[in-house]
Amino acid sequence: MSLITNVMDHSLDEGYAEAAARKQADGSGGMPKTLRAKLGLAGGLVLAALVVTVGAAQARVEAPVVAKEREELIDRIDRETEAADKLEDGIDALRAEVSARQREALRRSGQSNRTDLVGVLAGAVAVHGPGVKLVVNDAKDTSTGGDGDARSTTGFSDTGRVRDRDMQRVVNGLWESGAEAISINGQRLTALSAIRAAGDAILVDNRPLVPPYTVFAVGDGRQLSSRFQNSSDGLYLHALQENYDIRTALSVEDDLRLPAAPSVIVRTAQPITETAPEKGTS
Indicate which CATH number applies to the domain containing 218.
Answer: 3.30.70.1880
Residues 251 and 176 in one domain: yes
Place 109 in a pLDDT band, splitting at 50, 70 and 90.
low
**CA gap 225, 207 in Å, rounded:** 27
Place 23 in a pLDDT band, splitting at 50, 70 and 90.
low
- Residues 253-266, mean pLDDT to the nearest whole number: 83
pLDDT at 252: 95
244 Cβ contact partners less than 8 Å away, ≥ 6 residues apart: 139, 144, 145, 151, 159, 160
The answer to the question of residue 9 being in a domain is no
Residues 99 and 181 in one domain: no
Q: Compare 15 and 167 and report the one with higher pLDDT.
A: 167
Name the DSSP class of 157: S
The answer to the question of residue 22 being in a domain is no
Q: Domain of residue 97: give its range.
A: 32-110
Lowest mean pLDDT among 9-23, 187-201, 215-229: 9-23
Residues 234 and 134 in one domain: yes
**CA gap 250, 272 in Å, rounded:** 41
Residues 239 and 161 in one domain: yes
Lowest mean pLDDT among 41-55, 79-93, 144-158, 224-238: 144-158
Residues 87 and 165 in one domain: no
pLDDT at 50: 86
Beta bridge partners, 195, equal: 204
Residues 105 and 141 in one domain: no
Degrees, nearest 5: CA angle 50-55-56: 100
Place 153 in a pLDDT band, splitting at 50, 70 and 90.
very low
The answer to the question of residue 83 being in a domain is yes
Q: Compare 48 and 100 and report the one with higher pLDDT.
A: 48
Residues 140 and 241 in one domain: yes
- The domain total for the chain is 2
Provide the residue type at 257 as one letter.
Answer: R
pLDDT over threshold 60, residue 44: yes
Residues 254 and 142 in one domain: yes
The answer to the question of residue 87 being in a domain is yes
Q: Where are the alpha helices (DSSP H) in the chain?
A: 2-9, 14-26, 35-108, 112-122, 164-176, 221-230, 232-244
- Residues 32-42, mean pLDDT to the nearest whole number: 73
Lowest mean pLDDT among 64-78, 207-221, 230-244: 64-78
Q: How many CB atoms lie within 10 A of CB 121?
A: 14
Place 177 in a pLDDT band, splitting at 50, 70 and 90.
very high
Is 217 in contact with 173 (CB distance < 8 Å)? no
The answer to the question of residue 5 being in a domain is no
Residues 71 and 36 in one domain: yes
The answer to the question of residue 271 being in a domain is no
Name the DSSP class of 272: P
Average pLDDT of the chain to the nearest whole number:
79
Q: Which helix (H) or strand (E) holds 130?
A: strand 127-137
Is 253 in contact with 133 (CB distance < 8 Å)? yes
Residues 164 and 212 in one domain: yes
The answer to the question of residue 3 being in a domain is no
Q: How many CB atoms lie within 10 A of CB 277?
A: 7
Q: Is the pTM of this model over 0.75?
A: no
- Helix axes of 164-176 and 221-230: crossing angle, nearest 10 degrees: 120
Residues 105 and 136 in one domain: no
Is 179 in contact with 161 (CB distance < 8 Å)? no
**CA gap 90, 86 in Å, rounded:** 6
pLDDT over threshold 70, residue 195: yes
The answer to the question of residue 177 being in a domain is yes
Is 170 in contact with 183 (CB distance < 8 Å)? no
pLDDT over threshold 50, residue 267: yes
Most confident of 115-124, 193-202, 226-235: 226-235
Residues 153 and 240 in one domain: yes
pLDDT at 156: 43
